[in-house]
Amino acid sequence: MKRRARNLSEMISKGTLKVGQKLFAQYKGQPITATVNRRGDVKIDGETVHSLSTAARRACAKRGKENPAVNGWGFFKVKQGRNLVVISDLRG
C-alpha cells in the first residue's frame, strides 16, 4: 500500500511537484499564487513559510479573514496540462 506524502519535500522527492512550481488559489475572488522552494517550503506574499496550511492561513488573513482555519492541501492547486488540480489529490 502506497503511503501518502506528508509534506511538499516528499512530493518533490517523488517527482510529484517541482522546485519553483507555482501554486494557485482564490479567496474572496482574489487570485493567490505561491511558489514551492527547494526545501519544500512555500513562498507567498513575499515571505517563506514551512507548510501549505500556514501559507493558506497567511493568504486568507492578509485578505481579511480573522483567525482563519484553512487546510492548505485542499486550498492550493497546481497546473497539470490545462487543468488545475488540488494538491491533496496528488499526495498518493
User: What pLDDT is stored for residue 1 in this prediction?
Assistant: 62
User: What pLDDT is stored for residue 66 in this prediction?
Assistant: 82
User: What pLDDT is stored for residue 41 in this prediction?
Assistant: 95
Burial of residue 76 (number of CB atoms within 10 Å: 0-12, 13-18, 19+): buried
Backbone angles phi, psi at 18, to 5 degrees: -120, 150
Structural domain boundaries in the chain: 8-80
Task: Report strand pairing: 47-49 vs 77-80.
Answer: unpaired
Distance CA 79, CA 54 (A): 21
- pLDDT tens digits for 24-78? 999 989 999 999 999 999 999 999 999 999 999 999 999 888 878 899 999 999 9
Nearest by Cα to 25 from 92, 66, 65, 67: 65
Contacts with 81 (C-beta within 8 Å, 6 or more apart), sequence order: none
